[in-house]
């Protein structure tokens, strides 16, 4: 089967496997089986697992930055940006996935240095963007930021990252509880508004 998009499809499957099974938990065979090809064909596109991991993380970054750019062009207000971010994480939750940065943090000592370096860049992008959104929201008076925008951004990301992991052990409520709590702290919660109004 000669397809020009195989490289992209490999990355799609690899992304899914990484967030379901972890770095050490997926192999070239797993990818090949899902695509109906042989593992040697995967090695043609990504000679080593390090190459695959680096490409995968660059793909996360470019996806995320493209998504941010879309919001920027639409001049989305800070609350909308945050709800968009929550929706991304919630989608991971619904698909049974965890955050890739959590995966690489947990398995860091078995992950090639080149892949860890890319993870650092991705974490930087996400935190920088979140920090700017919080800063804007605070300036506009539509969000309540605790501490500095940077430290609140870190708290936000941490809460959802661990929430996805704990949901696997304790059930989905763990994630939803944490998500709602983050909204409350930001002054975005419907429940809180209802409670204050009533």
DSSP state string for 84-150: HHHHHHHHHHHTT---HHHHHHHTGGGS-HHHHHHHHHHHHHHHHHHHHHHHHHHHTTSS---S-HH
The site partner of 166 among DNA, a copy of itself, none (C-beta below 5 to 8 Å per kind) is: a copy of itself
| Residue whose CB is less far from DNA, 43 or 90 | 43
| Residue whose CB is less far from a copy of itself, 6 or 158 | 158
Residues 128-157, one symbol each (x = binds a copy of itself by CB under 8 A, - = not), give ------------------xx---xx-xx-x
Query: Among residues 11, 14, 18, 32, which is the contact residue for DNA, using CB under 7 A?
Result: 32
Q: How far is CA 168 from CA 20, 92, 114, in A?
A: 11, 12, 29
Query: Among residues 3, 72, 128, 190, which is the contact residue for DNA, using CB under 7 A?
Result: 3
User: By CB under 8 A, what part of segment 7-66 binds a copy of itself?
Assistant: 20-22, 24-25
Q: What is the CA radius of gyration of the chain?
A: 19
| Residue whose CB is less far from a copy of itself, 21 or 38 | 21
3-class SS of residue 83: helix
- CA separation for the pair 176, 167 (Å, rounded): 9
Q: Which residues form the interface with a copy of itself (CB under 8 A)?
A: 20-22, 24-25, 98, 101-110, 116, 119-120, 123-124, 146-147, 151-152, 154-155, 157-159, 161-170, 174, 177-178, 181, 184-185
């Amino acid at each position: 089967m000669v397809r020009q998009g195989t490289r992209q499809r490999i990355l799609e499957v690899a992304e899914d496997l990484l967030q379901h099974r972890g770095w050490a938990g997926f192999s070239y065979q797993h990818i090949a089986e899902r695509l109906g090809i042989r593992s040697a064909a995967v090695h043609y596109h990504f000679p080593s697992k390090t190459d695959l991991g680096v490409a995968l993380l660059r793909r996360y970054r470019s996806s995320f930055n493209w998504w941010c750019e879309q919001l920027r062009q639409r001049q989305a207000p800070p609350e909308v940006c945050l709800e968009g971010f929550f929706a991304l994480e919630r989608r991971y939750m619904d698909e049974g996935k965890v955050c890739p940065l959590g995966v690489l943090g947990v398995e860091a000592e078995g992950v090639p240095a080149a892949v860890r370096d890319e993870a650092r860049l991705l974490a930087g992008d996400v935190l920088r963007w979140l920090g700017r959104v919080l800063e804007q929201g605070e300036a506009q008076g539509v969000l309540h930021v605790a501490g500095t925008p940077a430290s609140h951004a870190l708290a936000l990301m941490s809460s959802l990252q661990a929430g996805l992991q704990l949901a696997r052990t304790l059930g989905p409520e763990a994630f939803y509880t944490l998500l709602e709590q983050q909204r409350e702290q930001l002054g975005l919660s419907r429940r809180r508004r209802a409670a204050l109004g009533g």
